[in-house]
Chains A and B, each alone.
Chain A
Amino acid sequence: MSALAISGRPALSRQLARLPGWTVLAVWTAAVLLPLYILVVSCFKTTAEIYDNRLGLPRSWALDNFVNAWTRANLGHNFLNSLIVTGAAVVLTIVVSAMAAYPLSRYRLGWNAVMLGLFLSGIMLPIRLASVELFTLMRNLGLLDSLTGLILVYSAIRIPFAVFIFANFMRVLPSELDEAARMDGAGEVRILFQIILPMVKPAVSIVAIFTAIAVWNDFFFPLIFIFDDRYKTVPLAISVFVGQFRTDWGLVFASLAISMAPILIMYCLLARQIREGVGAGGGMK
């Protein structure tokens, strides 16, 4: 009897139980998709058309706005700046963090936990609180108005998180691996970059994509460190397109679409590794 009751009960009530979850997801999806939809359709509209018809489809799918953004507004140059800053910050963050995480997670030092705690506190403190100090520091170092300055600041900000991720992935690898490599005659640097790092690829992907997104989209640090148009990154450049009296909104939307592309592509390329990495600890066999 009871088995019957259990198997007979579910259909409707089980689906009802799921309803709140689905509702939240649906609202969330709409909240994300609506701006995205407006962005995409607006890329193909003129400013007048955007004001007339905010939600409708564009009259034509001409690429004028993209061409204008890239050439007339010189977004191409800013795009290159962003690529350089993001690429360099990602590489620097990965190399430095891996080198810090390796001994902290795999040597018997006695003070590993304290050091990791210090790195962890770096994640918790909001860096913007130190903006003024940071500005003074950059000015004294002569790094204002330079891509190098941005790269260093971004790496410094992202390293604590990256060390934390790397240390957690590296900790679970069997110690025999480095021992075998050591017996094979590999030095510590080679063990890290040729044996350990290839085994924590998911961690590398996670660090790469999180660093890239944060750096690529950041508006704040270029705003306070960069004044010369030659060194502006994409978010800062786009903000200039929004003028006080007249704004070419079609061009702004097209620029935004262009700025989203690299992150989207990167995510598609690394999505599988990230999904695997978030769950798995990187087992050996």
Chain B
Amino acid sequence: MAQVAISKVAKAFGTVKVLHEVSVDIADGQFVVLVGPSGCGKSTLLRMVAGLETVSGGTIAIGDRVVNHLPPAKRDIAMVFQNYALYPHKTVEQNMAFALKLRKTDPAVVAERVKRAADILDLNPYLKRYPRQLSGGQRQRVAMGRAIVRNPQVFLFDEPLSNLDAKLRVQMRTEIKELHQRLKTTTIYVTHDQIEAMTMADKIVVMRDGRIEQVGAPLELFDRPANLFVAGFIGSPSMNLLKGVVRKGGKPGVDISGTLFPIADNAAQDGQAVVYGVRPEHLEIHPDGVPAKISVVEPTGSETLVFLRFGDREMVALFRERHDFKPGDTLTLKPRLDQIHLFDAETGKRL
């Protein structure tokens, strides 16, 4: 196990810069998720840590070694790929043992480590099978087994669950998390799915266009998004983001299309253009609230999603309790004052 220090790392393909001086510190044993939309550079960063891409600038250190110029095999890391990358002509057992055999490990040790990994991952009945004879979830487990047997300092996961169906994805999510709690190996995990990031990470790194938008614990990002992008990206359904102007004459609020949304007294200036953010679950029905008309109701059973319109704007509210809503009804909604996020309309930064 080891800490990983990524400092001012840059990457350019020819003249195209895909990473701009990115720095992340990963503590020993931490589970860090790199998340962002496709093309944000998260996979490139992971592949640079793995040694599959060259580093154009900055340093990557694993433990206390700078690994910029070390080949992948010498970095003491293991990677799980999105398409598993199992060797199709080798059995599950041979797939898992391959790396150890190349290192001329004692066969008894190889057998013992493969056995241990198979126990952890419930792969014992499949050791003699070929990858094509396994289901998607089983292949995924073999790919993890191949990483575990090497007992590396760092695990790297590159969108490992993207090829699985929704139900299996949830199950494997839990399995990977359990695995981490058991092995406590430093892990870097790349995904575009913010729910995966929220549920698995100790620390999330949100990226966009080759830059880091925010780094923090999942709930920290959820409760205090540093900018508009993180606010919109983290959380499902996503936060209502409404452009308006701050009014501080009487009761402080934000004027959104002529409707005053309340805010707590804070740093915003009177007359400042802002984006008012409130999560759907933080809107409550209240007689003093803002009137809005229901356009669509989406019940999922455990919660109900309600799409509303007021003036020329739209917003979404989420209720855990049952209501008998119909499209066309009018609700009066009040945001919870302590759950309001204000962003500068110009810079997108949190106020």
Contact = CB atoms under 8 A, between A and B. Distances in A.
Contacts of B83: 174, 176, 284
Interface in B113-147: 131-132, 146
A285 B133 CA distance: 10
Contacts of B81: 176, 179-180
Contact of A177 (B51, B77, B85): B85
Contact of B71 (A174, A180, A182): A182
Interface in A69-125: none
Contacts of A285: 88, 131-132
Contacts of A199: 88-89
Interface of B: 50-52, 71-73, 77-79, 81-83, 85, 87-89, 98-99, 102-103, 131-132, 146, 150
Contact of B79 (A180, A195, A198): A180
B99 A185 contact: yes
Contact of B102 (A174, A180, A186, A198): A186
A181 B77 CA distance: 13
A184 B79 CA distance: 9
A195 B99 contact: no
A181 B146 CA distance: 11
Interface of A: 174, 176-177, 179-186, 190, 195, 198-199, 284-285
A195 B89 CA distance: 8
A190 B99 CA distance: 12
Contacts, number: 57
B44 to A, nearest CB: 14
A176 B52 CA distance: 10
A33 to B, nearest CB: 39
Given A174-B83, A284-B83, A183 B88 contact: no
Nearest to B50: A183
Given A176-B83, A180-B85, A190-B102, 6 more contacts: A174-B83, A176-B81, A182-B52, A183-B79, A184-B98, A285-B131
A82 B99 CA distance: 41
Given A176-B85, A198-B89, A199-B88, A183 B102 contact: no
B88 A182 contact: no
